[in-house]
Structure 1
Amino acid sequence: MNIPTIVDRETWHAERNALLVREKAHTRAGNALAAARRRLPMVEVDASVRLVGAHGPTVLGEMFEGRDQLLVCRHMWHRGQGFEDQCRGCTATVWNFQDATYLEARGVTFAIWCEGPYDEFAPFREFMGYSAPWYSLDGIDSPGISDGWLTAYLRVGDRIFQTYDTDGRGCEAMMPALQLLDMTVYGRQEQWEDSPEGWPQDPTQSWFRRAGRPIPQWTRPGVTPVRGKDVQAVSIGPRP
């Protein structure tokens, strides 16, 4: 495993300051993109759609919880699979963002819309300790609702509008761990990154999982390895 070139502090400061110019330009470009997002038009969605949540079928307007804006993250679901076999990418995304306090202070409610049936994923939500409300997209086929991954909505009276959505790497906005890794010398250690020769890489992205589970699950009570396999205490629920 290679390491960066070793230099004196004066040389390091010169190199760092040169990079800082580019970082500030990147920040300003991000500000310009955010300004453009605020100027996007919006499109109306069907406000009568109901998603099943903790309190049963819930219309979109109720999901705003009295606020004017709603930000939704979509979560995949593998039917009939244990907790340990659910999407590693969705797990990483949602685990990295668990407190919407500051969004709520700006009038934005945050929620998870999951592809699976509510009764099937509700024990998973409880097991993971997620506090955000979860709703089921199961059986829903409605433009602007069933096709987004990170989607923003605005409520105007009884009408609801989609103002923005993104997918792919756009969802990294919810994953500060990746931005922090970008600040470290070895980065994310993924093959697509432009890194110097000899930098460590993990082509399988195995860091999302450890010993057969998404790594956050090992922080949950009752998760223990037995004979090299992952099991979950019976008190957590069936086949987690």
Structure 2
Amino acid sequence: MSHAVVSREEWLDARRALLVKEKAHTRARDALNAERMALPWVKLDKTYVFDTEGGRKTLDDLFDGRSQLLVYHFMLGPDWDAGCEGCSFMADHFDGTLPHLNHHDVTLVAVSRASLGKIQAYKRRMGWKFPWASSHGGDFNRDFHVSFTPEELAGETINYNFTDLPSGQGHDELPGLSVFHRDAEGQVFHTYSTYARGLEEALATLMLLDRAPLGRNEDETMNFIRRHDEYEEAPPKSACCAGAA
């Protein structure tokens, strides 16, 4: 991509024009957040049980004494050897947020269908500390539309991101974030879920790349992402030279 090279005064004119749009975007985001918080809730009557480092726990237990729970649906299936690269990228952002979330009455937990042993092994490999539970053998992932059976994948469509999508992609696990609230009486409510690119705003790395001169520099969505222990020492040529062509 080529860029015009201009005087400082011309640059300031262009930057101020963009700032007007950025401020409008910020106000629109604030309005959208208000609508998100105003969504109606659904009371959960079904009991979900998970394997955790602290033993078997229900969804209610995962709140860890707080009133709000964020569950990241991490793509790590029972027969997978490693977690999804994109989910691993997301998880790299979790540990630093935990003290701030916890002190704001919010618990963050990842949930996968893999066994607890497989989760713990991958967690050790990646050096993470955040809570991560196994839903192996339960309905939690399927009920929140992030895991799919062979029969569903053999059909024409799967339900993901609140719509029916062609099932030919063959993904038995997909990412998402589901949010829950527990009231003073101990009732648990599902308040929100988001999937696919709806997760992007939680990825601070992408938000920073969007402000870098070459942006995300991707051919397909996040195709530059690797697990953090799999990057080559030097960046790929396309990443450092794309703007020079």
> Which TM class, normalised by the smaller chain length?
0.7 to 0.9
Q: Is the CA contact 1:45–1:144 (under 8 Å) kept in the aligned structure 2?
A: no
Query: What 5-or-longer segments of structure 1 have no aligned partner?
Result: 191-201, 225-240
Instruction: Report the counterpart of residue 54 of structure 2 in structure 1.
Output: 55
Deviation per residue, 1:32-64 (Å, 9 max, x gap): 000011111100124631111112210111111
Percent of residue pairs identical: 33
Q: Is the CA contact 2:89–2:225 (under 8 Å) kept in the aligned structure 1?
A: yes
Instruction: Report the counterpart of residue 37 of structure 2 in structure 1.
Output: 38
In angstroms, what is the RMSD of aligned CA positions?
A: 2.2
**Cα distance, 1:116 vs. partner?**
1.1
**Cα distance, 1:128 vs. partner?**
1.2
Which AA in structure 1 matches 2:8? R
> Where does 1:16-165 land on structure 2 (aligned, <5 Å)?
16-46=15-45, 48-83=47-82, 86-99=83-96, 100-142=98-140, 146-147=144-145, 149-156=176-183, 157-165=185-193
SS for the counterpart of 1:208 is coil
Q: Is the CA contact 1:94–1:174 (under 8 Å) kept in the aligned structure 2?
A: no
Cα separation, partners in 2 of 1:166 and 1:172, compared to 1, 3 Å:
same
TM-score (norm 1): 0.77
- Between the aligned partners of 2:182 and 2:93, the Cα distance in structure 1 is 27
Instruction: Report the counterpart of residue 212 of structure 2 in structure 1.
Output: 184
**Cα distance, 1:139 vs. partner?**
2.1
Instruction: Report the counterpart of residue 203 of structure 2 in structure 1.
Output: 175
- Between the aligned partners of 2:220 and 2:196, the Cα distance in structure 1 is 18
Deviation per residue, 1:130-187 (Å, 9 max, x gap): 1111111222214896436211110012211011110011111221111111112211
Q: Is the CA contact 2:78–2:136 (under 8 Å) kept in the aligned structure 1?
A: no
Q: Is the CA contact 1:74–1:115 (under 8 Å) kept in the aligned structure 2?
A: no
Cα separation, partners in 2 of 1:186 and 1:142, compared to 1, 3 Å:
same
- Between the aligned partners of 1:208 and 1:144, the Cα distance in structure 2 is 26
Cα separation, partners in 2 of 1:97 and 1:3, compared to 1, 3 Å:
farther
**Cα distance, 1:66 vs. partner?**
0.9
TM-score (norm 2): 0.75
Deviation per residue, 1:174-202 (Å, 9 max, x gap): 21111111112211112xxxxxxxxxxx4
**Cα distance, 1:87 vs. partner?**
0.9
